[in-house]
Amino acid sequence: MKSRFAPSPTGYLHIGGARTALFAWLWAKKNQGKFILRIEDTDKERSTKESVEVILQGMEWLGLDYDKGPIFQSDRIERYQAVISSLINSGKAYFCNCSKQRLDNLREDLMKKGEKPKYDGYCRQKNLTDGVVRFLNPDDKVVLFEDCVKGNIEFANSELDDLIIARADGSPTYNLTVVVDDHDMGIDFVIRGDDHINNTPKQINLYKALGWNLPSFAHVPMILGVDGARLSKRHGAVNILSYRDEGYLPNALLNYIVRLGWSHGDQELFSISEMIDLFDLKDINKAPSSFNKDKLIWLNQNYIKTTEINELLNHLKYHLDSQSINTNNGPNIEDVVENLRDRSKTLTEMANNCAMFYQDFDSFDSDLAKNVFQTKCRPILESLHSGLEALDSWTAEKIHNVIMKICENRNIGFAEVGQPFRLALSGNGKSGSIDKSAQLVGKDRTLSRLKMAIDFIENHS
């Protein structure tokens, strides 16, 4: 069994494309088949090398490996032209030199009559030798096919055009190239968005004209924003690598997008192996799905908590490097991550919070400092400084005991010590467990930052 993902390199890989790739990948894996990556780059004006690179990087980051590819359509032009020639020679395609003006007038006349605009076959019998090439649409009454997601679908051939399969310069068009490619590559299942569903009857007619076996088709529903509108940049239809840059784990994103239109009971969390075992085309919903970033954040937080430490560190390194955080100058990064993972929603947030363990700072978050570092905090911080300075063993347990002793002596709650201590230690009020964080920051750095907080209160009182 073979499936494929065939993006056009005219933009980035976004959520909808990534979901299509994932469904095709899962179907191949589930059936012990092959997954092929094909780059449909015959649109020379819009296709770019930058888009190709972004697609390849996105597939690699998501872990959607392919058994063959990337195959570029631009390398197969001669093959398409040979097929076009065979259709012309067999009388199943013809040249057309209708002017744009004639076609515009035809379209306008049909619309005035309330009819669907379509080409009238004006050049069918002219035996021309140049112009665009049109496929001679058959006279069969209907095109009927069973879609793996939507069930039986029927189109009337009378509503279909003699579609253009080659432009005037000889370059092939989408509907021709995709049929040739899927046939030559032995694709058994064409899994794609339902925005392609109107292309399917045209492609089926081409398959039949060429005497080729049909693949199975599965058209997955579109993804909408939470407002019900078609997914756009404001909803999350951005370059898939933007999610990497925002600190999402690839498996969390895959878990999220697999649930955009597919379900297995009420289960929300799926490992990759579970996705492969449980995925079935028949379980894809017919109705559009809705993109909700809050759900993605929730999933990502779950994955940060549970992902194996070495894998988590592998992905975190990208964000640490982006922020120029050198983890050689401080505690073991594994210990820091274990301290932060329960409080981190994204890897960017985790990397931000790693900084306090490896980089010193010379100022505090100004808004927080004004609210937290009140005059009454000074004696608390001074007691904390002296109590911690006297410790002969720098452990989270001993640090916690110092905090609790101050709370007991002053008859105050933990927060009245913990809040100013957290801000003094981190500079921004964000850290994991305060006693464990202080242990990891180290005694000298902790005492130095407490002294800086005490000086801040003195200078602003």
pLDDT over 80 at 71, yes or no: yes
Mean pLDDT computed over 295-306: 97
* Banded pLDDT at 209 (limits 50, 70, 90): very high
Residue ranges covered by each domain of the chain: 2-72+178-223, 78-166, 240-306, 309-356, 366-460
Cα(244)–Cα(62) distance, integer angstroms = 9
Q: Give me the CATH topology for the region 366-460.
A: Arc Repressor Mutant, subunit A (1.10.10)
In this predicted structure, which of 32-41, 128-137, 363-372 has the lowest mean pLDDT?
A: 363-372
pLDDT over 90 at 329, yes or no: no
The predicted pLDDT at position 310 comes to: 97
- Superfamily for domain range 2-72+178-223: HUPs (3.40.50.620)
Q: Which two tokens stand for residue 237?
A: 């239809």
* Banded pLDDT at 234 (limits 50, 70, 90): low
pLDDT over 80 at 230, yes or no: no
pLDDT 10s digits, 360-390: 999 998 888 888 888 888 999 999 999 999 9
Mean pLDDT computed over 350-365: 93
pLDDT 10s digits, 431-459: 888 999 999 999 999 999 999 999 988 88
pLDDT over 80 at 236, yes or no: no
* Banded pLDDT at 238 (limits 50, 70, 90): confident
Mean pLDDT computed over 84-90: 98
Q: Which two tokens stand for residue 250?
A: 């690839």
The predicted pLDDT at position 372 comes to: 87
Query: Do 240-306 and 366-460 agree at the fold level?
Result: no
Mean pLDDT computed over 95-123: 92
Mean pLDDT computed over 272-289: 94
* Banded pLDDT at 44 (limits 50, 70, 90): confident
Cα(357)–Cα(326) distance, integer angstroms = 10
The predicted pLDDT at position 232 comes to: 65
Q: Is 66 exposed, middle or buried (0-12, 13-18, 19+ CB in 10 A)?
A: buried
* Banded pLDDT at 403 (limits 50, 70, 90): very high
What number does CATH give the domain 78-166? Answer: 3.90.800.10
Output the 3-class SS for the chain: CEEEECCCCCCCCCHHHHHHHHHHHHHHHHCCCEEEEEECCCCCCCCCHHHHHHHHHHHHHHCCCCCEEEEEHHHCHHHHHHHHHHHHHCCCEEEECCCHHHHHHHHHHHHHCCCCCCCCCCCCCCCCCCCEEEECCCCCCEEEEEECCCEEEEEEHHHCCCCEEECCCCCECHHHHHHHHHHHCCCCEEEEEHHHCCCHHHHHHHHHHHCCCCCEEEEECCEECCCCCECCCCCCCCCHHHHHHCCCCHHHHHHHHHCCCECCCCCCCCCHHHHHHHCCHHHECCCCEECCHHHHHHHHHHHHHHCCHHHHHHHHHHHHHHCCCCCCCCCCHHHHHHHHHHHCCCHHHHHHHHHHHHCCCCCCCHHHHHHHCCCCHHHHHHHHHHHHHCCCCCCHHHHHHHHHHHHHHHCCCHHHHHHHHHHHHHCCCCCCCHHHHHHHHCHHHHHHHHHHHHHHHHHHC
pLDDT over 80 at 242, yes or no: yes
- Buried-exposed string 163-201: b where 16+ CB fall within 10 A, e elsewhere: bbbbeeeeebbbbbbbbbbbbebebbbbbbebebbebbb
Cα(257)–Cα(261) distance, integer angstroms = 8
pLDDT over 90 at 11, yes or no: no
Domain 240-306 has CATH 1.10.1160.10: yes
- Please answer whether residues 22 and 207 qualify as being in contact, where contact means their C-beta atoms are separated by less than 8 angstroms: no
Longest distance between any two alpha carbons in the chain, whole Å: 102
Mean pLDDT computed over 394-407: 96
Q: How many CB atoms lie within 10 A of CB 451?
A: 15
The predicted pLDDT at position 30 comes to: 97
Whether cis (ω within 30° of 0) applies to the bond prior to 70 is: yes
The predicted pLDDT at position 233 comes to: 61
Q: Which two tokens stand for residue 56?
A: 């390849």
Q: In degrees to the nearest 10, what's the CA dihedral of 273, 275, 278, 283?
A: -170
